[in-house]
Chains A and B, each alone.
Chain A
Amino acid sequence: MISLLQGMQGMGGGPEMRMARDLALIAPEIAVLLTAVGALVFEMLRLPKVALPFTVVGLLAATALALPLLGTETTAFMDTFRVGPLGVWAKLALLPATALCALLARAEVRGTDREGTVYALLSFTALGALALAGAGDVMFLVLGVLLSSLGSFALVAYPRDERSTEAAMKYFVFGSVTGAVMIFGLTHWFGATGSTLLSELGRLEGAPLAAAFGLVAVAAGLGYKAAIAPFHFWAPDAYDGAPVSVAAFLSVVPKVGALFGLAQVASDLPAGTGWPLVLAALAALSMTYGNLAALAQENVVRLLAYSSIAQSGYFLLGVVAVGQSDLAVPALVVFAAAYAAMNLGAFAVVVRTGRRLGDLAGLGYESPWTGAAMVVFLISLVGIPPLAGFFGKLLLFGAAIDAGFVWLAVVGILNSVLSLGVYLRVVVPMYRRQKLVAARPAPVARGVQAAALALTLGIGLLAQIFFGGGG
């Protein structure tokens, strides 16, 4: 397939030829779309039992379709959609992550009315995240935010009880406002550059005001999706109101998509507009606020929500360095894969135990393997080697230092210590002698946990693969 693609590139070809080439480049996205539609059809046929396997197989097939694209560095549809390391690795990491979330969701929504819609919505939202991660045009940013937001609102509201409805409402209101702000700000970019293409953003050099407007707007719109402080206020409530598996999904897939989208913008925005400093400030704020707030939580889902706000700050270390350090893109890719594995793993354990900190008490004695797995996920989130999170953070810090942001790396390191305090609040009760209160027997969640554990342990050993594709 890859040689076919290159062949087509070489020829240039007529419009049909170009169209065929472009469609081949977005084959994974098409597969995700078909998966979502298929899941919906099976739901309508009242066959939720088929909808789940169909979704999982569809997502994995889409992942497989993305594999040959590794190493390509090109664009599709007249530069509006980018097929490069960020976009391709987003597919390779987020689609399996979505599949794992669908499996986790099964443990919670099994037998409920409209079970199949959950799988369809997960796929649609993932599609939005992929649009963000490959964005080469501001329209793709808007499309990605809207697509992933609409699916997410519905997912949060799925249980239809008071808490989830309130959570979805907050999420929705917040999303509409930031979305409107984003579109409003982007019009300034369009006005100043005369184009919606990100590659034309270099023309902003002489228009500081328009550049600043657009930057704030993009930070608000994507920052909301990625739960970056101060655009994070919806996240703890939405995560806590939603089913745990949906919280797991929201904390990984749309977040990584939005951060990669931000990196796409950053790669073209002239540094003269001052964006690196703005994003560095957001990174420091997000890390510090997320960790401090997490220290005060008694609910594991809320704790993980604040921790995910802090982790967004770490991602920003890589975004800040985009264009200034060769390490930036590999850092984002490795950390995204690591973060997906370890965060999903932690949520998979919570699906089985329950949301309160007390629910985990005694876990280390009652089921030593799950306890050990949880410890691995949490200390990987801290960034302790040789686990996946360490390699991500190593590269992120390296990229930040390389780009001249030594102070930001220092803030990141101090925050790692703070985050150890956060995660040990979960670990300590696990090794208290106590009967486990209510463990949900969920064999599927167990499988998800095992897969996440293998990845969290293995990504460090296999880190070279992330550099294979022209990273």
Chain B
Amino acid sequence: MIPIVSATLFLPLLGAALLAAWRGAPPRAAHALGIAFSGLALLGAAWLWARGASGEGFSQVEEVAWIPSLGVAYRVGVDGISLPLVLMTAVLFFVSLVFSAGIRERARSYVALFLLLETASLGVFVALDAVLFYVFFEVTLVGMYFIISGWGYEDRQRAALMFFLYTLLGSLPLLLAILGLYLGSEPNTFDMRELIANPPLTGLAATLALLAMLVTFFVKTPVFPLHTWLPAAHVEAPTAGSVILAGVLLKLGTYGLVRFALQMTPDAFRDLAPYVAALAAFSALYGAFVALGQSDLKRLVAYTSVNHMGYVVLGVAVAAAATGARAVALDGAVLQMVSHGVVTGALFLLVGMLQDRAHTREMGAFGGLLGVVPGLGWAFVLAAFASLGLPGLAHFPAEFQIFLGTLRVYPPAVVAVLGIAVTAGLYLRAIQVAFLGEPRGERRKLRDLGARETLAVVPLLALTVLIGVVPSLVLGVIHATTEALLP
């Protein structure tokens, strides 16, 4: 049997190692190698998807001894929650590397860092050992720090530093929680399957561990008031960096929320669920309203992420409460993660393309873009409509299920649905200002989508439509697991 999970996981790292060893690799070759290895990882992820996950527990588990005295081992595997995220991650890294192929400045380091980041991100989703999870979780910080500080925009050093300090401060409480779970388990183990099957902590210890995890995952997600690192990091990050940051790294927070908080401290989470739901609803609304106030397109998309991720957290909180309709909300939350990755990835790519051409992201500086660059324009309109939750596109089935579950459990939290109206308003305004009307001044002549850019954006748009039209493709996989998890 081929260890396909491990192969998928470490292929990008192998690519990074090859690049590190290949001194003086020309930029074209570096990009080709990067695309090849992330393509191989994508094939691996597709193979994983084809082999599927059985409903109960984890499938395709691979295990190697590491530190037996501590109960630490290399354990990886997938279930219906992680499998869609693995595939989404592989897709986003592939298109990001395709899109980045124009970068000439220190291309070798750039591609190597992206490949390192890909292994780390995939690792978080497939890890079944808490130490291994934490290792991958933190490596993503290092990779992203160097990507922002090395290839970002004007104020990148400060933004990168803030990102690193803030998210390191955010992730260390998780280490305490993991140690608490480890010391509470009998016999002591870091095996996540054991910790999920027999949640080791009870009472105050469980609540403290949960609070520590919530801090970590709320910083990462991000949830108000721990979101302040996000705008700076997004605005200063290079385009592909933003795609990965929003598309993949934010999911680490919500995935951890499901995997650790929901599955390892279920009772404590049930007690805190109303508060988490309230905070999530507020965070979603807050993100939408702040996004409404932005004129910088990149900041706008960044803040809509706060809105969308707020819905995910709301869905998880609803699932944590011990009443009916739990699986529905969790299904919605997991699908929302995938949808957000695909849609926001496309939006950041498109905003980045606009910036490459016009060297500005102020929506007021553009006008009539649909006439100037029809391909890019219509792509943006499609992605924006998906982001505001139009039926038939990726966000709709996810948000629908989240709100369905919320309505049954916490009816008042449904006010968060207002966020959809606000998002609709802000996207329509952006489309009206920048894409309709008369072209402005020197921005009359811009290039439309090139081949490389088309190749990067089209797969994401296709997935957006596919998930919107046939959500059962993904939901089937998710539901098989959530149903077994939350009867």
Contact (Cβ within 8 A) A417 B169: yes
Segment at the interface with A among B174-182, B411-419, B434-442: B174-182
Kindly identify which residue among A330, A395, A424 contacts B164, using a CB–CB cutoff of 8 Å.
A424
Cβ of A42 to closest chain B Cβ, rounded Å: 40
Complex CA–CA separation, A45 to B274 (angstroms): 81
- Interchain CB contact under 8 A, B176 and A401: yes
CA distance A55 to B392 in the complex (A): 75
Chain A contacts for B168, CB-based, 8 A:
382, 384, 416-417, 420
Interface of B is mostly: helix
Say yes or no for A454: interface residue by CB 8 A criterion.
Answer: no
Report the minimal beta-carbon distance from B287 to chain A, rounded to whole angstroms: 26
**Which of B165, B168, B182 has the most chain A CB atoms closer than 10 A to its own CB?**
B168
Is B448's CB within 8 Å of the partner chain A? Answer: no
Once the chains bind, are B176 and A397 in contact (CB under 8 Å)?
A: yes
Check A464/B175 contact, CB under 8 A, given A394-B131, A421-B165: no
Complex CA distance for A394 and B70, rounded to whole angstroms:
11
Query: Is B180 a contact of A385 with CB atoms below 8 Å?
Result: no
A401-B180 in contact (CB<8A): yes
Q: Which of B66, B67, B150, B165 contacts A417 (CB 8 A)?
A: B165
Q: Does A410 contact B (CB under 8 A)?
A: yes
Given contacts A401-B180, A417-B169, contact A386 B164 (CB under 8 A): no
Measured CA separation A47–B157 after assembly (Å): 51
With most chain B CB atoms within 10 A of its CB, the pick from A410, A417, A431, A467 is: A417
Minimum C-beta distance from B108 to chain A (A)? 9
Interface of chain A residues 251 through 283 with chain B (CB within 8 A): none
- Scan residues 138-188 of chain B and give those whose CB is less than 8 A from a CB of chain A: 138-139, 141-142, 149-150, 157, 161, 164-165, 168-169, 172-173, 175-176, 179-180, 182-183
Q: Do A397 and B139 touch across chains, with their CB atoms under 8 A apart?
A: no
> Considering only CB atoms, which chain B residue lies closest to A376 in the complex?
B142
A420-B134 in contact (CB<8A): no
The interface residues of chain B lying within 8 Å CB-to-CB of A379 are: 142
**Contact between B179 and A398, CB atoms less than 8 A apart:** yes
- The verdict on A224 contacting chain B, using a C-beta distance below 8 Å, is no
Asked if A428 and B157 make an inter-chain contact with CB atoms under 8 angstroms apart, the answer reads yes
In angstroms, Cα B149 to Cα A379, docked, is: 16
In this complex, the member of B70, B134, B142, B157 whose beta carbon has the largest number of chain A beta carbons within 10 angstroms is: B70
A413 within 8 A of B: yes
Q: Tell me the smallest distance from the CB of B220 to a CB of chain A, in Å.
A: 15
Partner of A413, one of B131, B161, B176: B176
The count of residues in chain B whose C-beta lies closer than 8 Å to any C-beta of chain A is 32
| A464: contacting residue among B66, B139, B169, CB under 8 A | B66
Residues of B within 8 A of A467 (CB): 67-70
Q: Is the CB of B172 within 8 A of A424?
A: no
Report how far A420 CA is from B142 CA in the complex, Å. Answer: 11
Q: Which of A386, A402, A431 contacts B183 (CB 8 A)?
A: A402
Q: Which residues of B contact A347 (CB under 8 A)?
A: none
Contact check, B135 vs A386: say whether CB atoms are below 8 A apart: yes
Secondary structure of the A side of the interface? Answer: helix
Tell me the bound Cα distance from A372 to B20 in angstroms.
10
Binary per-residue interface labels of chain A (370-386) against chain B in the complex, 1 for a CB within 8 Å, 0 otherwise: 00100000010010111
Which residues of A lie under 8 Å from residue B142 when comparing CB positions?
Answer: 379, 384
Tell me if A424 and B161 are in contact (CB < 8 A): yes
A385–B161 alpha-carbon span in the complex (Å)? 18
Contact partner of A410 (CB less than 8 A), chosen from B149, B164, B176, is B176
Asked whether, in the complex, the Cβ of A413 is within 8 Å of the Cβ of B66, the reply is: no
Q: Are B179 and A428 in touch, CB under 8 angstroms?
A: no
**What's the minimum C-beta distance from B146 to chain A, rounded to whole angstroms?**
8
Bound complex: CA A368 to CA B149 (Å): 16
| B447-467 interface (Cβ within 8 A of A) | none
**Among candidates A330, A416, A431, residue contacting B172 with C-beta atoms closer than 8 Å:** A416
How many whole Å from A460's CB to the nearest CB in chain B? 8
- The residue from A386, A410, A431 contacting B139, defined by CB atoms under 8 A apart: A386
Given that A424-B164, A431-B149, A471-B69 are contacting pairs, would A398 and B182 also be in contact in the complex, using a CB cutoff of 8 Å?
yes
A413 to B170, CA, bound (A): 10
A384, A397, A406: most-surrounded residue (chain B CB, <10 A)? A384
What residue of chain B has the Cβ atom nearest to residue A424's Cβ? B161
A348 to B150, CA, bound (A): 25
What is the minimal beta-carbon distance from B234 to any residue of chain A, in angstroms?
A: 20
* Bound Cα distance from A379 to B355, whole angstroms: 34
List the A residue with the shortest CB-CB distance to B74. A461
Closest 5 CB pairs of A and B: A467-B69, A385-B135, A413-B172, A417-B169, A386-B135
Known pairs A401-B179, A402-B183. 11 more at Cβ < 8 A? A372-B20, A384-B139, A390-B135, A398-B182, A406-B176, A413-B173, A414-B169, A424-B161, A428-B157, A463-B70, A464-B67
28 of the cross-chain contacts (CB-CB < 8 Å) are A330-B69, A385-B131, A385-B138, A385-B139, A394-B131, A394-B175, A397-B179, A398-B179, A398-B183, A401-B176, A401-B180, A406-B176, A413-B172, A413-B173, A416-B172, A417-B169, A417-B172, A420-B164, A424-B164, A428-B157, A431-B150, A461-B66, A463-B70, A464-B67, A467-B67, A467-B69, A467-B70, A471-B69
